[in-house]
Amino acid sequence: MASISRSPHIRPSSTRNNEFTSRRLDKGVARYYRLYELLSAALQDGTIAPETALPSEPELCARHGISRTTVRRALDRLEREGRIVRRRGSGTYARPQRTLPRFCVELHALPGILAALESRTTSKTLRFGPAPVPQTLRAMAVEIGSTTYLLERIRSANGRPLSLTTTYLPEAVGRRLRRPVPRQASVMTVLEGLGYATAAVRCVLGAVPADAAAARALQVPLGSPLLRVRAVLTGDAGEPWAVLESLCRSDRLQLKVLERG
């Protein structure tokens, strides 16, 4: 049985912050749009926190090697989207993000849903190797430990992306996983093949706009709504086999929850 609730978005990473503060924009893409992407991602993941000031226009010009006109085009787009507010004589500030209400439901058919997806989809491994668990996900299962193995996969149907899933496996589990990972197998099936049967699933659901990385992987416009699923897969004794975060295209995947009579 899986319990599901909405939750806030994840906190920023030092990698994202370094990219935002030091990156020179590529010449092959419209520079205003690349700046828009960087600012949009920084606003989304909290690198630029709500109610705090964005770098000034001269700072953005110098930092990214672009003109003031290019900077203003990017800021104009963010302002039209309601992401920032310009205050005359003060600067440009990040608007607070709307907090969605929390709710809890029970999802009873998750194994069946995954089995159905396996038969109709395939996945491609993007990354696999040792990696730390982000603090937000680790808080869901502290027993997983500080050393884990990251498995990032993109799942597709009919040649088009459906979801981007990042799974963190305990070191003992990750060391047993060998590539290539079966293209159709879900995380549950992969774990079962290693002898780690999933007895329970705890889920947290949310809706988030696509950041630059997710937009590219899932082939959607920046800021498109994505269904975010964070889950912990546990064994009979409650031991965590995996902690994962999956970003799903809302136009291609519908979650249906049936009420019990």
Report whether pLDDT(180) > 50.
yes
Q: Is the pLDDT of residue 204 over 60?
A: yes
In the prediction, which pLDDT does 71 show?
Answer: 94
Q: What is the overall mean pLDDT for the chain?
A: 80
The pLDDT score that the predictor gives to residue 87 is 92
Per-residue confidence (pLDDT) for residue 252, from 0 to 100: 78
Residue 200 has pLDDT above 80, yes or no: yes
- Fold (topology level) of 14-94: Arc Repressor Mutant, subunit A (1.10.10)
Residue 95, pLDDT above cutoff 50: yes
Better pLDDT: 118 or 3: 118
State the average pLDDT over residues 23-36. 70
Place of tokens 């290693």: 194
Mean pLDDT is lowest, of 102-106, 129-133, 227-231, for 102-106
* pLDDT exceeds 70 at position 19: no
C-alpha distances (whole Å) from 79 to each of 40, 85, 91 are 11, 6, 13
pLDDT at 5: 37
Is it the case that residue 206 has pLDDT exceeding 90?
Answer: no
Range scoring the smallest mean pLDDT among 91-100, 101-110, 185-194, 224-233: 101-110
Give the per-residue pLDDT at 4: 35
Q: Where along the chain do its domains lie?
A: 14-94, 108-249
More confident residue, 108 or 199: 199
Q: Is the pLDDT of residue 147 over 90?
A: no
Return the percentage of the chain with pLDDT > 90, whole number.
32
Please state the rounded mean pLDDT for residues 59-88: 92
Q: Is the pTM of this model over 0.75?
A: no
> Is 70 exceeded by the pLDDT of residue 256?
no
Percent of the chain with pLDDT over 70: 77
The average pLDDT across 53-60 equals 94
Q: What is the pLDDT of residue 86?
A: 93
CATH architecture of 108-249: 3-Layer(aba) Sandwich (3.40)
Of 166, 164, 168, 126, nearest to 147 by C-alpha is: 168
